[in-house]
Amino acid sequence: MRNNKTGKVATYGLLIALAMILSYVEAQIPAFFAVPGMKLGLTNVVVLFALYRIGYKSAFFINLLRILLVAMLFGNGMSLAYSLAGGMLSTLVMMLLKRSGSFRMVTVSIVGGITHNIGQILVAILILQTTALAWYLLILWFSGLASGLVIGLIGAEILKRMKSIPSDGSM
């Protein structure tokens, strides 16, 4: 008989490691259209999977740990501030949308992509003490919509293909 706690720890470890790898891979991709801040958000595939497959708390915990570990390994204090603001805001909003039961994964992902950008711009406005950055939200709104759509489609396909795997946290 397998220990459920051990399986849960292993699942969390695998998902956090996958999210860290995707974060590193994405950092190697040049910014789209030479616009700072535009990224695909590959790690959100892991967050969506965790949210829809193993639960709200797990998704939040996995994303938080991923953000902290990536900042410690590859970033700095500023990258941590931006990642925490965007990542945690988007995760909380995605949790609320999923909990409502009124939205499909793709919609949840799109709103997550947009709110991630909103969180980061709010931090930039606070740090730089200027509201002039608010105009940049328009550009990042469209990038969040596009990346959220792509990530949502990928996440939905992964979830569909993995239905045969138990979802009790032990995978």
75 token code pair: 């970033």
pLDDT band at 31 (very low <50, low <70, confident <90, very high): low
Which secondary-structure segment (H or E) carries 86?
Answer: helix 77-100
Which sign, positive or negative, has the C-alpha torsion 132, 138, 139, 144? positive
Tokens 């396909």, residue located: 157
pTM of the model as a whole: 0.88
> In terms of pLDDT, which residue wins out, 166 or 72?
72
Task: Return mean pLDDT, the chain.
Answer: 89
Average of pLDDT values for 17-43? 81
pLDDT score of 17: 95
Q: Residues 131-137: contacts with CB within 8 Å, 24+ apart?
A: 136/37
Non-local (6+) Cβ contacts of 89 within 8 A are 115, 116, 118, 119
Which secondary-structure segment (H or E) carries 101?
Answer: none
Q: Find the range with the poorest average confidence among 44-53, 102-111, 139-148.
A: 139-148
pLDDT over 80 at 170, yes or no: no
The C-alpha atoms of residue 116 and residue 26 are separated, in whole angstroms, by 16
pLDDT over 70 at 126, yes or no: yes
The C-alpha atoms of residue 162 and residue 139 are separated, in whole angstroms, by 35
- HEC states along 36-55? CCCCCCCHHHHHHHHHHHCC
* Residue 137: count of CB within 10 angstroms of its CB: 17
The angle formed by the CA atoms of residues 163, 165 and 167, to the nearest 5 degrees, is: 90
69 by Cβ neighbours in 10 Å (0-12 / 13-18 / 19+) ranks as middle
Q: CB of 2 within 8 A of CB of 165?
A: no
Q: pLDDT digits over 40-68, tens only?
A: 889 999 999 999 999 999 999 999 999 99
Average of pLDDT values for 111-134? 93
Q: How far is the CA of 139 from the CAs of 98, 135, 170, in angstroms?
A: 26, 8, 40
